[in-house]
Chain A
Amino acid sequence: MVHQYKLNGYNIVLDTCSGAVHVVDEVAYDMIAAFKEKTEEEIVVEMLEKYGDREDVTEEDLHLCMEDIRTLVKMGKLYTEDTFEDMAGKFKERSGNVVKALCLHVAHTCNLNCSYCFASQGKYHGDRALMSFEVGKRALDFLIENSGKRRNLEVDFFGGEPLMNWDVVKQLVQYARSVEKEHNKNFRFTLTTNGMLIDEDVIEFANKEMSNVVLSLDGRKEINDLKRVDYAGNGSYDRIVPKFKQLVESRGGQGYYMRGTFTHANPDFTEDVFHMADLGFTELSMEPVVSSPDDPAALTPEDLEIVKEHYEILAKEMIKRKKEGRGFTFYHYMLDLTEGPCVYKRISGCGSGTEYMAVTPWGDLYPCHQFVGDEAYKLGDIWQGVTNDALREEFRSCNAYARPDCKDCWAKLYCSGGCAANAYHASGSIRGIYEPGCELFKKRIECAIMIKAAEDAEK
């Protein structure tokens, strides 16, 4: 399968199944598009009609270009056949019941009252609760016991607001460090925080132990303070930004993401990304809000068109700023074309419900943080393990090839079929799709690859 698009002056051809990326001129662009449908003679005649007045377009040259296209096909870099479908299911079967990542909900409570929160202000539609050390310790033991030969184990301290249970977080990290060597494991911790309770102790400990810190900020003060408010209704911007600056500076500007959410209030979210960059932050992420369509924060179809335009604006500005020596990273534009993931990763899905699970403060297991609170999606608990085998099988069999809507999509090896939770909330099935999410995802990948084309052109 081939996907062709034009963006920022670049004509780009993606060969979905080999992962090859070709940057071509407009003549080759049209010839590749016609390659499967027409004969060489028909294509050459058509090109001469369209481009014949150009000096560089001759019949001989067009035949040479056809030869180049055929060579790429032979090399497996163009119109490569899709042979991955059989692998998709088998790979996940082969992985057995290995669990390698947990999202630990150490606090089902929050000191902010953000109206758009998918976790209903940290409570996940239930009661407020904090995870005890005993529950957390058992969760870490569960992870070690079920991780098979996997060495790298990931634990995200999540909430609600995890700093509201900071002492337990520290104790759990210390416990994991005390046992990881004997089990030949390497724990990687992430802390996702709204920043309100960051202090010297948090900074020192996080810099020593957390490989990644996710800091929530929605960008401009007026945008952030519209939704990210405390229970008295006061905006959080002025209190969190100085703390974020201190934390990021003290960890050398690495191992963090400044992550925001954009809503109906700011489909021009690039202004917020640029604001974060202008504050001096360089590792940035901005996500479309996840909400039901009747929520006032939800993005409308009109918003989606604006958002797509802004993804292009963002990509062009990133190219410009990089040249000026003030570049920044945008999470969704991070693509490593040469050292990126293998095809197994790309077809297997996100791992929710199989190798990745969320643990509630009282030790229940869910396929991921976005299913917590939905009793039908409870997998089991950390003492008995997964007891809902049928549910685990449903998630195991979910991959880039399991969703009918993804079958002919060029982007499926970039999103691996997309987010199961978004699909479920939008369509009622984890094998459905969340169409607006797909549209934005495809736009982001097009922009990310265009940036690579621009970087290559600079070489």
Chain B
Amino acid sequence: MERIKTLETRDLCESAKNGGCGECQTSCQSACKTSCGVANQQCENTEK
């Protein structure tokens, strides 16, 4: 694709199939404590 470059990303629709283990960090426990960001948490699912 000459005019379009797609970055490598995790497919969120696919992630619905085996996600949701709940082992990843609670978003507020890392640094913010006054806002909510979830996209910067690491996935910790060992069976994905």
Write the residues of chain A forming the contact surface with B, with a CB cutoff of 8 angstroms: 17-25, 27-28, 61, 64-65, 68-69, 71-72, 76-77, 80, 83-84, 87, 91, 94-95, 98, 100-101, 103, 118, 150-152, 154, 156, 188, 190, 192, 212, 214, 257, 259, 261, 285, 287-288, 290, 331-332, 334-346, 349-352, 355-356, 368-370, 413-420, 422, 437, 441, 444-445, 448, 452-453, 456
Contact = CB atoms under 8 A, between A and B. Distances in A.
Q: Interface majority SS on B: helix, strand, loop or mixed?
A: loop
A350 B36 contact: yes
Interface string B13-48: 101100110111111111111111111111111001
Contacts of A23: 4-7
B31 to A, nearest CB: 4
Contact of A150 (B22, B33, B41, B42): B22
Contacts, number: 213
A333 B16 CA distance: 24
15 contacts: A18-B9, A19-B11, A22-B4, A68-B2, A335-B39, A342-B15, A343-B19, A344-B19, A345-B43, A346-B12, A350-B26, A416-B36, A418-B36, A445-B39, A453-B7
Given A20-B6, A23-B5, A214-B30, 12 more contacts: A18-B13, A21-B7, A24-B3, A24-B5, A71-B1, A87-B16, A288-B34, A331-B32, A345-B38, A350-B26, A415-B36, A419-B34
B34 A370 contact: yes
A441 B37 contact: yes
A352 B38 CA distance: 13
A100 B26 CA distance: 8
Nearest to B11: A18
B34 to A, nearest CB: 5
A342 B14 CA distance: 9
A69 B11 CA distance: 18
A80 B31 contact: no
Contacts of A342: 10, 12, 15-16, 19-20, 43, 45, 48
A413 B38 CA distance: 8
